[in-house]
Structure 1
């Protein structure tokens, strides 16, 4: 299922739209807002979904490193992040990725001048989307789905796809 658009759809609370369109690091913004921590939910070698393969320009069933984390602010889950890095070609990005642990990938992506960020894409994540169940487990069940964004970050010959799913609570504060 692909519903990714180059702009967020209408009907989004202004505060949440501001988060969705944030041009900088969400990690840095959450740290400015309150007590920040990351919970590593999963990091494993597996296949990306078809939509992610298309975004990365890779063949279906290509082995990929998949990392999922929950970003917390003031003890509340704020963002579910799902990252896909094709296992080949191997390079420095793969080595960094393997050693992140509970550190933020965003702190690396926005701090190192070698990264080239692609354009943001936006979608509404509902029960039909492959990431919905994992987002619910991390953020709680939303009243009518989640708003999400994604983009690629390229470093040399390696490209990582980062999808960020936002808690509706971000739009209420």
Structure 2
């Protein structure tokens, strides 16, 4: 199946489902909000980290050459055994050294990147963008690749934003998994 790119829209103007609108537009730490609303025990489940070619939509957002590898980290944010969010962080090669020295991004393991991003006053968040993903979208298929069970008719909402440290940037994309109660 040909994988398609998502069509991202500013979170401020997008028509969003009521139960997810607050989550998709919240400018604060998703980690903190999930910790506060978890019914069981919040955890970060590291799926993969290392160098790879980012998706073309990620490379374009970061203004990096399409063929250039970037540091990629993929995690599932869980409430007990329940997968709630699939998150993907992309760090361009030109930013990696500075962000590694400042954030120790390569050594996070099962710790949350959000805990660092939102407690460091030197790091600024760019505007939020949102999209809805369906089977066939690259990000939807990536989530399924990590064992997240979703019906091919499911719609998965996602948000993304760049974070900036000095002249360096990274992209964080968070996909809110369907079949979850987001009304909390």
Does residue 26 of structure 1 match 2:30? Answer: yes
SS at match of 2:141: helix
Q: Is the 8 A contact 1:72 1:79 kept in 2?
A: yes
Q: Is the 8 A contact 2:135 2:154 kept in 1?
A: no
- Cα RMSD (Å) of the superposition? 1.8
Tell me what 1:163 maps to. 173
Relative to structure 1, the CA distance from residue 39 to residue 110 in structure 2 (aligned partners, 3 Å threshold; closer, same or farther) is: same
Does residue 52 of structure 1 match 2:58? Answer: yes
Q: Is the 8 A contact 2:133 2:139 kept in 1?
A: yes
Q: Give the structure-1-normalised TM-score.
A: 0.91
Relative to structure 1, the CA distance from residue 38 to residue 89 in structure 2 (aligned partners, 3 Å threshold; closer, same or farther) is: closer
- How far off its partner does 1:167 sit? 1.5
- How far off its partner does 1:135 sit? 1.6
- How far off its partner does 1:67 sit? 0.5
Tell me what 1:132 maps to. 140
Take 1:117 and 1:80, find their aligned partners in 2: how far apart are those partners?
A: 19
Relative to structure 1, the CA distance from residue 59 to residue 11 in structure 2 (aligned partners, 3 Å threshold; closer, same or farther) is: closer
Tell me what 1:92 maps to. 98
Aligned counterpart for 1:102 among listed residues 99, 110, 134: 110
SS at match of 1:83: strand
Moved over 6 A (4+): none
Residues matched between the structures, number: 172
Consecutive unaligned residues in structure 1, runs of 5 or more: none
Take 2:65 and 2:169, find their aligned partners in 1: how far apart are those partners?
A: 14
